[in-house]
Structure 1
Amino acid sequence: MIYTVTVNPSIDYIVQLKELTLGEVNRMDYDNKLPGGKGINVSRILRELGHDSVALGFLGGKTGEIVREALEHDGLKTDFTPIAQDTRINVKIHAQQETEINGRGPHVSDAEVASFKEQLSHLTADDTVIFAGSLAPNLDSGFYFDLIKMIRQQEAQFVIDTTGESLLKTLPEHPLLVKPNNYELADLFHTTFNGLDDIVAAGRKLLTMGAQHVLVSMAGDGGLMITPDKVYRSLAPKGTVINSVGAGDSMIGGFVGTFAATNDPLEAFRYGLACGSATAFSEDLATRAKIDEILPQIEISEYK
């Protein structure tokens, strides 16, 4: 089973208006309320692809009930840990510019953390846990690392969507997938790249440090998958970028879901690219129809 973990989920209140004028009353043209969180996004993409997952994390109060009910209404399996404080609300304003006002999120007690950890105490080698998104305000990065060690002791796989030193700390535990973009990869090693050969060399370094698969997204230049033996490249499919939010989550969902079903990293790479691009070309996360539309455009070639 694939488990996604969203520690600090939200209701995303999306507001659209032609122009936002500060200090005046503004009237919106459109609004919507959606369950938010990077792990939740991954679960939504897995559902579109027909892969089972269970969405885990913390939910509390009336806002938490709204998130859970919305996910279950959409057919997602959930097993969130209940907490005393309310799940946060994020406001996403689409006007002349996109503006976000994100809530801090609830305090999670020691007892609530212990209850959550119990949910992950029965994993097997057939399971994969995906950590994505910000932590609740009172939790530090040690929260993820404690869970990762517990997961690996049970021989389950894990993916954590993070960058910088936080990413480097996970590598000795052999994450199934790491997914930096080319800029994040350069920052990771405090360097600049002068071409694809430099990117490949840095990606291979991540493999030697413990990563099992390395994907490097390069926006309009496509993406790379770096393995110990070979490097594969795909150019970006054609389309108009409408919304980059969730594209990375979609790429993870496409890769992990396909890899879990096929154990074929090349096919997983193809679906990861298609899902990421399909979301970028959509107003919300990609639908299966949009993913299927993009898939024929994904041409993967071996890069020396």
Structure 2
Amino acid sequence: MLHERPDGSRIEVAVDIPPQAQRIVLLNNGMGMPHEYWDWVCGALPADMGYVRFNPPGYGLSTPTTHYGLERHFALLQELRETYTVGLPLVLAGHSLGGYLVAAYASFHPGAAEGVSAVVMVDATDVAQLRSSRRSEGDRWFHQSMLMERVYALAGLSAFRPALNKNQTYRPDTNRSFTAFGAEPRTWAMTHRDYRDAMTYPALTALDVPLSVVTAENNQGDNAEHHAVQAKMAALAKSSRHHIIDGADHESLLTVQAYAETVAEVIAGEPPAERTGSERRQSAGDRPAAKTAACAERS
């Protein structure tokens, strides 16, 4: 489905709002990821919850743009919610850089927090930490990898050696769409652009809506440092909850169905209330992710 914007450009969207919907989640992909990344999450949402997900300009079927950046992304989020969320209570959820983007929208964009019942940051990017990595070995590796992925796509090799969804964890039609997305050279040019832009984004300081932070336990690199950064995000709001999903890494949070279903439970659950003291509990259930999803609430 293509959403036509006032300037004539188009945005690729997937919208499912059942007649009985009492609330809606607006889903923001991670950097360089297609909206299909949310498939397992969307399939696990309750019947009374609709969803809107999209590909930003330049990704998938969305019209490219030379200049983008934070304010233009906020304008797109605002436009999508005004078009599709029909006045229902709204949850904003994002993965990776998308987690930062929805929280920044709720925090910085005038009036954006109105009507938002909760923000869910799924293993979200800390832009201050990202900025501090400039010219580091990891930063150089990212620039080189984006260049090489674009070369692979231009050479037609990405269809045989996909960089995304290597384990083909989704349904066959979604797997094919993932492969086509990664085989488009523009995908990697846009990802490189977004990475550079993210280096300039302002750090989050406070969030005046209930916040749930979902963290992958098995991070690439230093887990302790990763968990500390994620805990700092949970401290952005007075009403917050921090979920740690054991065994999941940054990508498998959404690409492995059991973990994604746990993320869906967080999105669809009651927003955290402001509390005193702290509590840590095990999530109930007999699925692998549910057994190991630790959850902490803070005041």
Same fold (TM over 0.5): no
Indicate the structure whose relative CO is greater, using CA pairs within 8 Å and at least 6 residues apart.
2
Larger Rg: 1 or 2?
1
For normalisation by structure 1, the TM-score amounts to 0.38
For normalisation by structure 2, the TM-score amounts to 0.38
